[in-house]
Structure 1
């Protein structure tokens, strides 16, 4: 009986003390989701300033075509003429999965997208925190 009582006391102590040791973590998945949603919305709105501000300086953009692999600067040079005339593109996310690595500074995602011209597409990517902002 004393052994069981001691075990019960230890378990209760851990259960009561555990919340005090927990640290509040930012909701990284929600933040990444918001960036991705803003990314697609800014493309649809032809808002190049917002669109490109969401990319890291060393970003690589992989497009829907197998030949499309662009640095951020290359993609900006391609897209800016469209955005400057108010023409964007609309991809609507119908499903999105986000995983945040331990440590909370890297996240990767995959999403199903629908586009009027191209139909169902898949988007994938990696985001990192730079200067406190997901990019």
Structure 2
């Protein structure tokens, strides 16, 4: 009987040893193919998990950098993290800005050395099937506004993640949502 690989269980080896040599070799080769397929699949899964973790880390670094740059009033770095065709949506219904429009709003603050500080926590990042688009939601703490929520989309362009859309919102607790809605309606009607 030919040499048996160490990974073949003893019970299988006993059965195989009673078979004609050609049948025995067929089963050994089959077991080797199965093992190679399993190992290849395992390697692929590990690679995919590793790639996903690396992408999530990169997206988190970009988002953390967005917040850090804003807090430091570092306009050059801040806007370099956005795609040229990005959109920023603020807390007011009128605040839907292209990057150029958002710069017009932000630069007077940044030029004075004042930005805005939001401390992110509880972030969730999701990816498209091809791994080139990510979307997220995060809660943020701000001294003036309290808890806010950021949501948005990033796209991987030429190997770099860029913010395509960022939406800052103020979550309203359900217990006071009616009162807040009434205040908004009053402002819309012109009454304060």
Fold conserved between structures, TM > 0.5: yes
CA contact (8 A) 1:64 1:121 kept: no
Task: Verify: 1:52 aligned to 2:79, yes or no.
Answer: yes
- Answering whether residue 85 of structure 2 is matched by residue 62 of structure 1, we say no
Asked if residue 107 in structure 1 is aligned to residue 130 in structure 2, the reply is: no
Matches of 2:118 and 2:159, distance apart in 1: 27
How many residue pairs get aligned? The number is 133
Alpha-carbon deviation of 1:20? 5.3
- Larger helix proportion, structure 1 or 2? 2
Decide which of 64, 68, 77 is 1:37's aligned counterpart: 64
**Which TM-score applies when normalising by structure 2?**
0.62
Gaps of at least 5 residues in structure 1 are none
- For normalisation by structure 1, the TM-score amounts to 0.87
Deviation at 1:100, TM superposition (A): 1.3
Offset at residue 115 of structure 1 (A): 0.6
Q: Which moved more, 1:115-124 or 1:18-27?
A: 18-27
Residue 18 of structure 1: aligned partner: 41
Cα distance, 1:21 vs structure 2: 5.1
Q: Based on CA coordinates, which of the two structures has the bigger radius of gyration?
A: 2
Give SS of 1:104's match.
coil
Gap regions ≥5 residues in structure 2: 1-14, 17-26, 163-192
